[in-house]
């Protein structure tokens, strides 16, 4: 078990991508989340998974409980705005009757899940039903209206025509149906970020069973941290079943070095933000949630 | 019903005075009747304070030959070992709906394990036939206090005096919850209209909020309380770290509602739209607008679940980062 100040505890770290072409066709990077949930669903490791499914407006996610592979496929890909997935965590065990729940979320959502398991104030019978929590790397998130602003105003592109959004190589990328690609420097996007993200002290979802993201691996691949006992068990079963093609993280570029760099940058910056909040006013500060 | 009988069985085993008191004990105003003796005293940890026991003066401890007590000796032997390092706890019922107590029982077999290994349940109007609040390590208080009712006020004071740790069990005890909305008029005490969370009258050590509190949080707090009082240094440190946020919740105050999310989380620029509050809300009053929680405040029952479930109201990396180990520890403690 590796224990890192910024990358958290993890049993192993690899570069991986799904071996399923159908999944890869619409996935953000290596199709890790969709593939893992599909495998866990078929093996009975989970009864369903809370994912960011399609919403009423283009690129606006809505949390949904996927109980079939088709539903998982419909939720592939990253939508760079808020999907309150944790809001379904009790509902999944009630209305949907799931005994083994999968959930995907950002690092803060993983924090909510684990706090909820240890302190289930309003989460009756939920704690022992979390079968697989997958975390995604996250530098910051955006409200939906910020995405509208960025895509339709700054990138001058109709959201209906967008086929994919991505953040990488220091830019925010918007791909369209007709093949046009618009890139915005992250300098432009920063002010549209969700304010709550600026006190976040987790980049690679340290509290997930398995966490994944594009940073650290080549296009089409994902970096995967296998963390908990549950995560290790499920990951090894998925590998044995041939779900993933993997490479040692040491053999890919840019590798763990970049992940560590970005994690350090995010957490250091946000620690500073928390400090600054303490003397935000004149002799008065803002709340620090961490105790 | 099997579970209920088992629970009752446990209490009967422990407190053999149960059957005689109230049924055959003579009233003090009937001195001419021959005194019916009490059965032998219960084990020391369950002892009812002498001044509280309804014992008639001059009673002897002799058992009449026709009394049926065939299992007493056997059950006493069974209890000798495990009782020694248990903590004593009880349920104090103020103005609540008994839902919190049902939540305790909803640990099912887990409750039996708790009772077998860690806790002597010394007081509980519903489950243990003990009439007056005894000394105990942990008092779990359900409900708010009706300040128009003399006995309730006396009992909450007595609970504080006789308990090492007072836990506000459920949102009525913590925050007033639905009893905040009482306007009186109910039969058969229409003048009972003013209800306060117990923290407005006594010092409360630990909050265990929720409407009802989840059986799993009750279990976690019970195991932590046991480790705190009876464990080794490491276990005490773990239990202290675990209970700390719930102690701080008790210090924070006796008011809660959806507005706490607005005031202490969203307005403070801390909300990340994760959805935990909406999941926790027992009345489905919370939806999301622009990615942030929006409460229908007319529906809010002031239970404090949303605020306490939020990862940005309070969050301890020390504790939550160890979630796997802590859950394993508690699971191991709950193995029969």
H/E element, A23? helix A21-26
- Would you say the C-alpha torsion B82, B83, B87, B88 has a positive or negative sign? positive
How does strand A101-105 pair with strand A130-136? Answer: parallel
Query: Residue A212 domain-assigned?
Result: yes
Confidence of residue B256 (pLDDT cuts 50, 70, 90): very high
Structure tokens at A222: 């994902």
Q: Which of B313, B321, B324 sits opposite A289 (nearest CB)?
A: B313
Q: Do B269 and A286 touch (CB under 8 A)?
A: yes
A108 touching B (Cβ < 8 Å): yes
Tokens 């799993």 belong to which residue? B216
Q: Which residue segments constitute the domains of chain B, with CATH numbers given?
A: 1-81 (no CATH), 85-254+318-333 (3.40.50.700), 259-309 (3.30.70.20)
- pLDDT tens digits along B82-107: 445 899 999 999 999 999 999 999 99
Q: Do A196 and B214 touch (CB under 8 A)?
A: no
Q: Which of B216, B280, B312 sits opposite A289 (nearest CB)?
A: B312
Contact residues, chain A, for B305 at CB < 8 Å: 121-122
Contact residues, chain A, for B272 at CB < 8 Å: 82, 106, 108-109, 141, 194, 196-197, 200
CA distance A80 to chain B (A): 12
Structural domain including A40 reads 2-141+199-268
CATH number at residue A45: 3.40.640
- pLDDT tens digits along A83-116: 999 999 999 999 999 999 999 999 999 999 999 9
Query: Residue A239 domain-assigned?
Result: yes
Backbone angles phi, psi at B120, to 5 degrees: -95, 120
Buried b (16+ CB within 10 A) or exposed e, A217-241: beeebbbbbbbbebbbebbeebbee
Query: Residue A237 domain-assigned?
Result: yes
- pLDDT tens digits along A252-290: 999 999 999 999 999 999 999 999 999 999 999 999 999
CA–CA separation, A38 and A287 (whole Å): 41
- pLDDT tens digits along B114-147: 999 999 999 999 888 898 999 999 999 999 999 9
CA–CA separation, B74 and B87 (whole Å): 23
- B23 has a pLDDT exceeding 50: no
CA distance B10 to chain A (A): 25
A201 touching B (Cβ < 8 Å): yes
**Relative orientation angle of helices B109-117 and B2-14, to the nearest 10 degrees:** 10
Query: Residue A48 domain-assigned?
Result: yes
Confidence of residue B336 (pLDDT cuts 50, 70, 90): low
What is the structure's pLDDT at B62? 45
Q: CB-based contacts of A17: which residues, under 8 Å, 6+ apart?
A: A24, A29, A30, A31, A32, A220, A221, A222, A244, A245
Average pLDDT over residues B142-169: 97
A85 touching B (Cβ < 8 Å): yes
Q: Do A87 and B288 touch (CB under 8 A)?
A: yes
Q: Which of B262, B273, B282 to mutate to test the interface with A (most CBs of A within 10 A)?
A: B273
What is the structure's pLDDT at B335? 86
Q: Do B314 and A289 touch (CB under 8 A)?
A: yes
- B202 has a pLDDT exceeding 60: yes
Contact residues, chain B, for A117 at CB < 8 Å: 323, 327
Interface of A with B in 215-254 (CB under 8 A): 228-229
Q: Do B274 and A108 touch (CB under 8 A)?
A: yes
Average pLDDT over residues A38-63: 97
- B14 has a pLDDT exceeding 80: no
A7 touching B (Cβ < 8 Å): no
Percent of chain B topping pLDDT 70: 75
Q: What is the DSSP string of B187-253?
A: TT-TT---EE-GGGTS---EEE--SSPPHHHHHHHHHHHHHHHHS-HHHHHHHHHHHHHHHHHHHH-
- For residue B91, list its beta bridge partners: B124, B140
Q: Which of A105, A123, A143 sits opposite B279 (nearest CB)?
A: A123
- Report the candidate in B253, B13, B52 with the shortest Cα–Cα distance to residue B135: B52
What is the structure's pLDDT at B129? 87
Residues in chain A, how many? 291
Contact residues, chain A, for B269 at CB < 8 Å: 195-196, 198-199, 286
The answer to whether the beta carbons of residues A131 and A101 sit under 8 Å apart is yes
Structure tokens at B96: 């609540």
Average pLDDT over residues B167-191: 96
Q: Do B274 and A195 touch (CB under 8 A)?
A: no
- For residue B195, list its beta bridge partners: B146
Q: CB-based contacts of A68: which residues, under 8 Å, 6+ apart?
A: A41
- pLDDT tens digits along A151-195: 999 999 999 999 999 998 889 999 999 999 999 999 999 999 999
Query: Residue A90 domain-assigned?
Result: yes
> What residue in B sits closest to A9 (Cα-Cα)?
B321
Query: Residue A68 domain-assigned?
Result: yes
What is the structure's pLDDT at B127? 85
Percent of chain B topping pLDDT 90: 69
Query: Residue A180 domain-assigned?
Result: no
Confidence of residue B243 (pLDDT cuts 50, 70, 90): very high
Confidence of residue A214 (pLDDT cuts 50, 70, 90): very high
Q: What is the ipTM of this complex?
A: 0.96
CA–CA separation, A163 and A179 (whole Å): 9
> What residue in B sits closest to A147 (Cα-Cα)?
B290
- pLDDT tens digits along A51-86: 999 999 999 999 999 999 999 999 999 999 999 999
Interface of A with B in 111-170 (CB under 8 A): 111-112, 114-128, 141, 143-145
- B168 has a pLDDT exceeding 50: yes
Average pLDDT over residues B209-236: 94
Q: Which of A106, A111, A291 sits opposite B248 (nearest CB)?
A: A291
Q: Do A144 and B323 touch (CB under 8 A)?
A: no
What is the structure's pLDDT at B143? 98
Confidence of residue A122 (pLDDT cuts 50, 70, 90): very high
- B67 has a pLDDT exceeding 50: no
What is the structure's pLDDT at B2? 39
Q: How far is CA B131 from CA B24, B122, B285, in A?
A: 16, 10, 40
Angle at B205 between CA B202 and CA B209, to 5 degrees: 95
The answer to whether the beta carbons of residues B125 and B178 sit under 8 Å apart is no
In total, how many domains does chain A have?
1
What is the structure's pLDDT at A27? 93
Q: Which of A105, A143, A291 sits opposite B314 (nearest CB)?
A: A291
> What residue in B sits closest to A205 (Cα-Cα)?
B321
Give the residue with greater pLDDT, B335 vs B242. Answer: B242
The answer to whether the beta carbons of residues A110 and A89 sit under 8 Å apart is no
């Amino acid at each position: 078990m590796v224990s890192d100040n910024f990358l958290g505890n993890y049993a192993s770290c690899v570069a991986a991508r799904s071996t399923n072409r159908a999944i890869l066709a619409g996935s953000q990077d290596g199709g890790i989340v969709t593939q893992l949930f599909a495998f866990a669903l078929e093996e009975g490791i989970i009864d369903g998974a809370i994912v960011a499914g399609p919403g009423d407006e283009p690129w606006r996610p809505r949390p949904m409980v996927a109980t079939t592979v088709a539903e998982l496929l419909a939720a592939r890909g990253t939508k760079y705005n808020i999907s309150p997935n944790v809001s379904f965590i009790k509902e999944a065990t009630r209305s949907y009757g799931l005994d083994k729940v999968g959930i995907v979320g950002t690092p803060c959502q993983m924090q909510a899940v684990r706090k909820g398991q240890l302190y289930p104030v309003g989460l009756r019978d939920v704690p022992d039903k979390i079968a697989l929590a997958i975390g995604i790397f996250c530098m910051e998130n955006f409200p939906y209206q910020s995405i509208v602003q960025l895509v339709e105003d700054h990138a001058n592109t109709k959201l209906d025509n967008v086929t994919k959004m991505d953040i990488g190589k220091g830019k925010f990328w918007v791909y369209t149906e007709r093949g046009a690609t618009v890139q915005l420097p992250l300098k432009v996007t920063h002010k549209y970020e969700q304010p709550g993200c600026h006190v976040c002290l987790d980049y690679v979802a340290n509290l997930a069973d398995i966490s994944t993201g594009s940073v650290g691996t080549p296009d089409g691949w994902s970096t995967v941290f296998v963390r908990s006992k549950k995560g290790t068990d499920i990951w090894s079963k998925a590998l044995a079943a041939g779900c993933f093609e993997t490479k040692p993280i040491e053999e890919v570029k840019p590798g763990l070095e970049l992940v560590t760099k970005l994690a350090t940058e995010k957490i250091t910056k946000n620690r500073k933000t928390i400090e600054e909040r303490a003397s935000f006013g004149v002799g008065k500060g803002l709340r620090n949630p961490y105790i | 019903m099997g579970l209920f009988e088992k629970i009752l069985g446990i209490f009967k085993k422990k407190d053999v005075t149960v059957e005689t008191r109230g049924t055959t004990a003579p009233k003090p105003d009937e001195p001419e009747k021959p005194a019916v003796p009490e059965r032998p005293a219960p084990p020391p940890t369950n002892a009812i304070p002498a001044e509280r026991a309804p014992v008639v003066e001059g009673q002897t401890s002799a058992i009449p030959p026709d009394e049926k007590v065939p299992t007493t000796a056997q059950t006493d032997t069974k209890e000798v070992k495990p009782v020694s390092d248990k903590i004593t706890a009880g349920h104090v019922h103020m103005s609540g709906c008994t839902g919190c107590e049902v939540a305790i029982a909803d640990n099912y077999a887990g409750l039996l394990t708790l009772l077998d290994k860690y806790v002597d349940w010394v007081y509980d109007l519903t489950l243990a036939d003990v009439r007056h609040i005894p000394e105990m390590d942990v008092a779990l208080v359900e409900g708010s206090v009706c300040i128009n009712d003399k006995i309730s006020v006396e009992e909450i004071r007595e609970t504080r005096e006789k308990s090492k740790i007072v836990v506000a069990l459920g949102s009525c005890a913590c925050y007033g919850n639905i009893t905040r909305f009482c306007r009186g008029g109910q039969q058969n005490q229409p003048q009972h209209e003013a209800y306060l969370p117990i923290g407005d009258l006594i010092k409360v050590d630990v909050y265990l909020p929720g409407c009802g509190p989840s059986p799993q949080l009750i279990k976690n707090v019970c195991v932590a309380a046991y480790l705190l009082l009876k464990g080794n240094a490491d276990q005490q440190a773990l239990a202290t770290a675990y209970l700390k946020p719930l102690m701080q919740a008790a210090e924070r105050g006796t008011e809660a509602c959806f507005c706490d999310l607005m005031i202490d989380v969203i307005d403070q620029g801390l909300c990340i739209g994760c959805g935990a509050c909406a999941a926790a809300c027992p009345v489905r009053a919370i939806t999301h607008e622009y990615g942030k929680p929006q409460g229908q405040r007319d529906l809010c029952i002031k239970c404090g679940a949303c605020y306490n479930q939020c990862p940005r109201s309070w969050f301890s990396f020390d504790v939550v980062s160890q979630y796997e180990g802590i859950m394993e520890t508690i699971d191991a403690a709950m193995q029969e």
